[in-house]
Amino acid sequence: MSDDHADHNHHHNHEHHDHHEHAHGHDHDQGLAGMLRYLRHAPEMWSSEVNTAVVHRLAPTAGETVMDIGAGMGAGTMVAAKTNCTVVAIEPTPYMRRILGLRRLITRTKDQVYIVDGTAESTTVADGSIDAAWAVNTMHHWTSLNDGIRELARVLAPGGRILLVDESFDDPEHPDYERFGAKFGDEHEHHFHTVDPDAVGAALSDAGLTVTFAGHDRVAGRPSVVLEAVAPR
């Protein structure tokens, strides 16, 4: 999906952040204005090639329980639901959860789709219960990457796999660069923090996971920050 980066630039708080941790400048705090901003991006949040590619790469199977961290309107959740697995959609923003709830109702496997008020840092999910988890374009929202990764390590089942992707909208080769990323060059607008894959990779290793990829890669043809890891068996 395309993100709300342009919007971030307008309302993201102006605090200084270090590379790993940054404060919420979150749209879920923004009420109606935030909702309208997100609705502008509804087509990309409804379904996106990146989410489809991420879920296909994780290849959930029937009987597994998977988790979409910062599910938004369910672009990834709905792809996973088609595979007959149980899907836990973690989403802190109330109006996103309402949209997810409506989408769930028209899903064939709706009894296997759970919508949870939570964050990456606090999913509320039981220890060792998740076979695969992903996050698309949410890492830059996390209040603490370290806490999010500790939480991931806690909830993953033995051998559980994760894929974290943030599109690099600030890369001129990104197809949405003109739309979102070009603004990153403007000093006054530049409040968005690109996630450092090395730092996240190190945090994943520290949390006991085996990192299979940490770096820049294309996902559905889009330059992205990609982290792939598995939990020990």
Ligand X SMILES: C[S@@+](CC[C@H](N)C(=O)[O-])C[C@H]1O[C@@H](n2cnc3c(N)ncnc32)[C@H](O)[C@@H]1O
Interacting residues toward ligand X by CB under 6 A: 1, 3-4, 26, 28, 45, 48, 51, 69-72, 75, 91-93, 96, 119-121, 136-138, 141-143
The radius of gyration of the chain's CA atoms, rounded to the nearest angstrom, is 16
Q: How far is the CB of 222 from ligand X (least distance, A)?
A: 12
Nearer to ligand X, 70 or 158 (CB): 70
Least distance to ligand X, CB of residue 233, Å: 27
Looking at beta carbons only, is 48 or 168 nearer to ligand X?
A: 48
Min dist CB 76 to ligand X, Å, is 6
Rank residues 96 and 211 by Cβ distance to ligand X and give the closer one.
96
User: Does residue 155 contact residue 129 with C-beta atoms inside 8 Å?
Assistant: yes
Which amino acid would we find at residue 60? P
Please report, as a single letter, which amino acid is at residue 102: L
CB of 153 to ligand X, least distance (A): 16
Q: Residue 147: how many CA atoms within 13 Å on its side-chain side?
A: 12
- Considering only CA atoms, which of 167, 155, 197, 195 is closest in space to residue 68? 155
Rounded Cα–Cα distance for residues 203 and 79 (Å)? 28
The per-type count for the chain, helices as H runs and strands as E runs, is 8, 7
Which lies closer to ligand X via its Cβ, residue 40 or residue 159?
40
CB of 188 to ligand X, least distance (A): 22
Residues 6+ apart with CB under 8 A from 192: 5, 8, 9, 12, 140, 170, 184
For the bound state, the minimum distance from the C-beta of residue 69 to ligand X, rounded and expressed in Å, comes to 5
Residue 209's contacts (CB-CB under 8 Å, 6 or more residues apart) are 149, 152, 153, 156, 162, 229, 230, 231, 232
Looking at residue 135, the DSSP 8-state letter turns out to be E
**Residue nearer to ligand X on the CB measure, 109 or 122:** 122
* Least distance to ligand X, CB of residue 79, Å: 11
Please say whether the beta carbons of 214 and 227 come within 8 A: yes
User: Which CB atom, from 161 or from 222, has the smaller least distance to ligand X?
Assistant: 222
Give 112 or 224: the residue with its C-beta nearer to ligand X.
224
Strand pairing report for 113-116 and 86-90: parallel
